[in-house]
Amino acid sequence: MISKYDYIKNPCSSLSIPYWKEEKVSVPDNMLIIHDKNYNDGYLDSYDNTKYFRILHDMKLILDADLDINYYIKTVDINKEKRIVTDIINNCYSDISVTESQVVAWTKEKAYDRNLWMFIMVKNTNLPVGLGIADFDKNIEEGILEWIQVLPKYRCKGIGKVIVNELLNRLEVKAEFVTVSGKIDDKTKPESLYRKCGFKGKDIWNIMYYKK
């Protein structure tokens, strides 16, 4: 296990996941996790591979969360709104599904911060159309963007950028840096969104599963 001091020097090239998660998880026997600098296509003979970017915001310049007047920002009340959180995530993906119990379990993790769960709401209907969830590791002083979701009907309206910038602003007072990761070939192009919000880096991780 890498030390936290070495991790802080270069988080995105040191680990494929945040430090606090690395402390608690173990890699299954059928999985390989390899940084792109150590990867070659020979692995594809035995493994199926998915590439993930992992990039960092140094918190030196944070943009305002410039929200359209037809929307407003609301902090999630997890005791009352766990079903809404679950539904938004599930309605944004065709290949990912979460349960209410999983959502509640996230709030029990040590990096949970209730102020880092937020909705984008439509003013005239009070309909939640966007969701942002971030973690904060007090030990590392690292913020982590976990879920940035916008319902399909409301995409391409700048809502995703507002969510990212709002979470960065909420993290500004305590995080030394913020990281985010995602699939390189995701059709919604999340990496482009994050870079527009000030994230930088070139680290790519290969998450490979042994072919059955």
Q: Domain coordinates of the chain in residue numbers?
A: 71-192
Fold of 71-192: Aminopeptidase (3.40.630)
For residues 205 and 16, is the Cβ–Cβ distance under 8 A?
yes
pLDDT value at residue 149 = 97
pLDDT value at residue 124 = 95
pLDDT value at residue 94 = 83
Strands (E), 117-176: 117-122, 128-137, 142-150
* Three-state secondary-structure class, residue 5: helix
Looking only at the bridges linking them, the beta strands covering 31-35 and 200-210 are antiparallel
For residues 136 and 178, is the Cβ–Cβ distance under 8 A?
no
For residues 80 and 117, is the Cβ–Cβ distance under 8 A?
no
Closest CA to 64 of 175, 158, 187: 158
pLDDT value at residue 66 = 86
Q: Which residues are CB-contacts of 50 (< 8 A; sequence separation ≥ 6)?
A: 183, 206, 207, 208
pLDDT value at residue 184 = 96
pLDDT value at residue 212 = 80
Ordered per-residue pLDDT tens for the chain, 212 residues: 899 999 999 999 999 999 999 999 999 999 999 999 999 999 999 999 999 999 999 999 998 888 999 999 999 999 999 999 999 999 998 888 999 999 999 999 999 999 999 999 999 999 999 999 999 999 999 999 999 999 999 999 999 999 999 999 999 999 999 999 999 999 889 999 999 999 999 999 999 999 98
For residues 122 and 129, is the Cβ–Cβ distance under 8 A?
yes
Q: How far apart are CA 85 and CA 81, in angstroms?
A: 6
Q: How far apart are CA 207 and CA 49, in angstroms?
A: 6
